[in-house]
Chain A
């Protein structure tokens, strides 16, 4: 029993020690330290030495280590949690101490290892020793982590004994109950009333927000909106019909370039105007979807993935190549793409584009929703679940798979056209593989196959990097790590799709659906 205590705590300690080492070597502590300083607004006055914040960072890490170690304790024994926290903190502290000894040696001998490890300047290493003399610095590195580990253990132990845990449970219960209540209200007899209230609030928000929050947020949220359309389109292909497509951004490029070629002064000066160009872009993208799909209908799973990846790259390289330069502008891309007009009036400010994007999102959501709950949608689901069985039970798999590709591509064409026109620019490199991967990630992170998930995913994937801007060049590192963590903790996505099940007691859904369908017709 004691053996597990020791080995588990040791393991936690070592893990945190290694994490600490890694974060140290990429300079994360310095970045976080200066961020803390910014938050505390002491940068200018300089009254608090910067090393305090590095100590704070170490302490936080130590507490976390102690907490993680103590949490593993099953027995509700106060002392055992403390001991676990202490062990983990001590081990992490030891690792930190060893590292700081190395730093101390380098500093005293004035060896600058930056040729190999980019952030380790002498100043940085001195700061990591909290600007203390060598012995104190090493001791502090050890002491802070060990002490914080103990504190973490103590915190865990306290929280399990005191009423903290209870209070938390109560709070969580309250929130859950509240949500339940809201759900009851919205689904019960007040259904219609709530629907109207929500619609009014939503409409007001949609109408007023873009004029209020300034061009930066219009830009960011607008980009999120574009990616919602893309996500919905890809959801038709991947989420509903189950075909893994990795080169989806190629269809986006077709939409964007159609808009650019038809509606910019260079290279062709056709100036068709926004709306015809948008419509043609949608049609061409859908056509490209069919064209790509036709020879590949026999492929499944990862074979389709790599082929579509290849297709995306082919489109990108061709757009960029010498061969096509006179037609597509080559690597330079196309500039000065004109915005739309409505009744002869230009409709091209950032607010206007925001409305346009919101309109596009609403239309896409509507179409997506209708398709999903239609006969077509069920055919797609059956193909996704088992293509062989679907075929055997009379579903024309080829037709439906092509349909999914074409419709999904059309969504991308729509998004591409709006995107190019809003940015007034499009170039080959914005349609690179990474963009395809972003779209795929967003629908999976959000939760595949449902609209709220797609919206949330788009916010997470396109909004989050904007929010993470404060982290400067740690931005993508954090993004990659978050992607992994998110998949590990919520493999079904942030908002998992609920499957229709057989045990629905009164089945209001199908009634409602039929009603809506008749409305549409």
Chain B
């Protein structure tokens, strides 16, 4: 439970560093302030309506990132390994959601007027989609751990990482071969049609708050709160925290370590599955590569917030989403460079807080 212990060092290299880091920070900060000033005050490029739109976009995407990031953080907190295949677990959930909606769409409830099950019982449809998607992802997370990670628990740390990378490549290509590389459109129930939402008038321009977005964001937050309660209040959560702290001692205290790890993978998989279904509902496209980019982003978010730390992952996800949507506008740079900005801020944050925004709640074993 230590925040990297300061060590007495007096060497030239570190002396250099001592001055370098603040200088670096000040330069970057000055640059950012200058850009902000020129864009916001001098050029006044965007109106309040645009900022609201960017905020909405950022929050929605940030919510999804947070949900996936939690999966990384949970697994990392316990096994100290980067579950590189987590994005693919999400992809499987997204596919499951797509298939459920397709199946429900094909069930005709009445022919006059033409009505299918998915539109007749939208709430039930959505619940089924999430249930199936989360189950599929949870199971695949569980199997992944059992087949590709568990035998490597005693191996050097990089070995499970490579195994995870292999699993990620395998799953991506398996999905491509199974379902073809075609992009699939997810057909939502009518009440969650994409592109419609509440309209608010700002600056004489209609700003739409899309239903799918609100749904996605709200559900993300609900799931995150639910997870927090599980980890903090239940017996399982206590077991997870104990295993994260020290596996040996936890085992001595009568905790079934293997079972706890399996359950962790189940939970993180389920969350990724939910994220996958949401991705389908909000963005509408599902294909075999759909998990890769969000996976990398969520991993970044988890590290940004302090990997191993639940609120950190959530904060990191939202922060990353907002940087991606508002950052380029605020600094007046091309949106193509949003990932450059995101990673640059990551580097900046880690330069000053080497263990992420919220530090880390991890055992010493990690270091």
Among A293-315, those with CB < 8 Å from B are 294-303, 305-307, 309-311, 313-314
Q: Which residues of B contact A114 (CB under 8 A)?
A: 180
Q: Which residues of B contact A311 (CB under 8 A)?
A: 343, 347
Top 9 A-B pairs, shortest CB-CB distance: A483-B166, A310-B343, A480-B170, A480-B169, A118-B180, A26-B177, A491-B155, A398-B13, A477-B173
Q: Which of B11, B307, B356 contacts A396 (CB 8 A)?
A: B11
Shortest B24–chain A CB gap in Å is: 6
- The answer for the CA separation of A11 and B281 in the assembled complex, in Å, is 37
Contact (Cβ within 8 A) A480 B167: yes
Q: Contacts A27-B177, A119-B177 known; A306 to B346 CB distance under 8 Å?
A: yes
Contact (Cβ within 8 A) B163 A244: no
Chain B residue, CB-CB nearest to A305: B82
Q: Contacts A303-B303, A303-B355, A313-B339 known; A238 to B158 CB distance under 8 Å?
A: yes
Decide if B183 is an interface residue (CB 8 Å cutoff).
no
Q: Which residues of B contact A483 (CB under 8 A)?
A: 162-163, 165-166, 169-170
Among A466-500, those with CB < 8 Å from B are 473-474, 476-477, 479-484, 486-488, 491-492
Decide if A280 is an interface residue (CB 8 Å cutoff).
no
Contact (Cβ within 8 A) B337 A323: yes
Contact (Cβ within 8 A) B7 A488: no
Q: Which of B173, B176, B303, B337 contacts A302 (CB 8 A)?
A: B303
Stretch from A83-91, A204-212, A441-449 forming part of the interface with B: A441-449
Decide if A520 is an interface residue (CB 8 Å cutoff).
no
Q: Which of A118, A402, A445 contacts B177 (CB 8 A)?
A: A118
Interface size class, chain A: 35 or more
Among B3-28, those with CB < 8 Å from A are 4-5, 7, 9, 11-14, 17, 20-21, 24
Q: Which residues of A contact B300 (CB under 8 A)?
A: 306, 309-310
Contact (Cβ within 8 A) B174 A317: no
Q: Which residues of A contact B14 (CB under 8 A)?
A: 398
Contact (Cβ within 8 A) B162 A441: yes
Contact (Cβ within 8 A) A310 B346: yes
Contact (Cβ within 8 A) B343 A314: yes
- The answer for the CA separation of A388 and B174 in the assembled complex, in Å, is 44
| Contact surface of A with B, Cβ cutoff 8 Å | 22, 25-27, 114, 116-119, 238, 244, 294-303, 305-307, 309-311, 313-314, 317-318, 321-323, 388, 391-392, 396, 398-399, 402, 433, 437, 440-441, 444-445, 448, 473-474, 476-477, 479-484, 486-488, 491-492
- The answer for the CA separation of A305 and B340 in the assembled complex, in Å, is 16
Q: Which residues of B contact A473 (CB under 8 A)?
A: 173, 176-177
Q: Contacts A480-B170, A483-B162, A483-B169 known; A294 to B367 CB distance under 8 Å?
A: no
Among B134-187, those with CB < 8 Å from A are 147-148, 151-152, 155-160, 162-163, 165-174, 176-180, 182
Contact (Cβ within 8 A) B354 A299: yes
Q: Which residues of A contact B162 (CB under 8 A)?
A: 440-441, 444-445, 483, 487
- The answer for the CA separation of A486 and B170 in the assembled complex, in Å, is 13
Q: Which of B152, B170, B307 contacts A481 (CB 8 A)?
A: B170
Enumerate 20 A-B pairs (CB-CB under 8 Å) in ascending A order. Answer: A117-B178, A299-B350, A302-B80, A303-B350, A313-B339, A317-B336, A317-B339, A317-B340, A318-B337, A321-B334, A445-B162, A448-B156, A477-B169, A480-B166, A480-B169, A484-B166, A487-B148, A487-B166, A491-B159, A492-B156
- The answer for the CA separation of A491 and B171 in the assembled complex, in Å, is 21
Among B314-352, those with CB < 8 Å from A are 333-334, 336-337, 339-340, 342-344, 346-347, 350-351
Q: Contacts A300-B367, A484-B170 known; A310 to B347 CB distance under 8 Å?
A: yes
Other 16 A-B pairs with CB < 8 A, given A118-B177, A118-B179, A440-B158: A298-B354, A303-B303, A313-B340, A313-B343, A314-B343, A317-B340, A398-B11, A399-B11, A433-B296, A444-B159, A473-B173, A477-B174, A479-B166, A480-B172, A484-B163, A487-B163
Chain B residue, CB-CB nearest to A489: B151
Q: Which of B99, B165, B303, B334 contacts A306 (CB 8 A)?
A: B303
Q: Which residues of B contact A116 (CB under 8 A)?
A: 99, 102, 179
Contact (Cβ within 8 A) B9 A391: yes
- The answer for the CA separation of A457 and B14 in the assembled complex, in Å, is 36
Decide if B65 is an interface residue (CB 8 Å cutoff).
no
- The answer for the CA separation of A444 and B84 in the assembled complex, in Å, is 16
Chain B residue, CB-CB nearest to A473: B177
- The answer for the CA separation of A398 and B14 in the assembled complex, in Å, is 7
Chain B residue, CB-CB nearest to A304: B350
Q: Which residues of A contact B169 (CB under 8 A)?
A: 476-477, 479-480, 483
Contact (Cβ within 8 A) B350 A294: no
Q: Which residues of B contact A238 (CB under 8 A)?
A: 158
Contact (Cβ within 8 A) A301 B99: no
Chain A residue, CB-CB nearest to B304: A306
Q: Which of A295, A391, A491, A492 contacts B21 (CB 8 A)?
A: A295
Count of chain B residues near A, Cβ 8 A: 68
Contact (Cβ within 8 A) B336 A388: no
Q: Which residues of B contact A440 (CB under 8 A)?
A: 158, 162
Decide if B101 is an interface residue (CB 8 Å cutoff).
no
Q: Which residues of A contact B9 (CB under 8 A)?
A: 391
- The answer for the CA separation of A138 and B12 in the assembled complex, in Å, is 77
Shortest B359–chain A CB gap in Å is: 12
- The answer for the CA separation of A299 and B352 in the assembled complex, in Å, is 10
Shortest A60–chain B CB gap in Å is: 20
- The answer for the CA separation of A314 and B346 in the assembled complex, in Å, is 11
Contact (Cβ within 8 A) A318 B340: yes
Decide if B76 is an interface residue (CB 8 Å cutoff).
yes
Decide if B108 is an interface residue (CB 8 Å cutoff).
no
Contact (Cβ within 8 A) B151 A488: yes
Q: Which of A296, A321, A399, A481 contacts B166 (CB 8 A)?
A: A481
Q: Which residues of B contact A477 (CB under 8 A)?
A: 169-170, 173-174, 177
Contact (Cβ within 8 A) A322 B334: yes
Q: Contacts A300-B367, A303-B355 known; A402 to B20 CB distance under 8 Å?
A: no
- The answer for the CA separation of A313 and B345 in the assembled complex, in Å, is 13
Q: Which residues of A contact B337 (CB under 8 A)?
A: 317-318, 321, 323
Q: Which residues of A contact B173 (CB under 8 A)?
A: 473-474, 476-477, 480
Q: 1/0 per position for B218-234, CB-CB distance to A under 8 A?
A: 00000000000000000
Q: Which of A27, A392, A476, A486 contacts B7 (CB 8 A)?
A: A392
Q: Which residues of A contact B333 (CB under 8 A)?
A: 323
Contact (Cβ within 8 A) B11 A314: no
- The answer for the CA separation of A36 and B233 in the assembled complex, in Å, is 58
- The answer for the CA separation of A119 and B356 in the assembled complex, in Å, is 46
User: Which of B13, B21, B155 is most buried by chain A, counting CB atoms within 10 A of its CB?
Assistant: B13
Q: Which residues of A contact B152 (CB under 8 A)?
A: 487-488, 491
- The answer for the CA separation of A448 and B346 in the assembled complex, in Å, is 29
- The answer for the CA separation of A297 and B11 in the assembled complex, in Å, is 14
User: Which of A295, A305, A440 is most buried by chain B, counting CB atoms within 10 A of its CB?
Assistant: A295
Shortest A81–chain B CB gap in Å is: 25
- The answer for the CA separation of A22 and B171 in the assembled complex, in Å, is 12
Shortest A401–chain B CB gap in Å is: 9
Q: Which of A295, A317, A482, A491 contacts B351 (CB 8 A)?
A: A295
Q: Which of B7, B158, B296 contacts A444 (CB 8 A)?
A: B158
Shortest A505–chain B CB gap in Å is: 28
Chain A residue, CB-CB nearest to B4: A298
Chain B residue, CB-CB nearest to A299: B354
Q: Which residues of B contact A314 (CB under 8 A)?
A: 339-340, 343-344
Q: Which residues of A contact B177 (CB under 8 A)?
A: 26-27, 118-119, 473-474, 477
Chain A residue, CB-CB nearest to B176: A473
Decide if B366 is an interface residue (CB 8 Å cutoff).
yes
Q: Which residues of A contact B176 (CB under 8 A)?
A: 473
Q: Contacts A476-B169, A488-B148 known; A302 to B307 CB distance under 8 Å?
A: yes
Q: Which of B17, B296, B366 contacts A294 (CB 8 A)?
A: B17
Shortest B234–chain A CB gap in Å is: 28
Q: Contacts A117-B179, A310-B346 known; A480 to B163 CB distance under 8 Å?
A: no
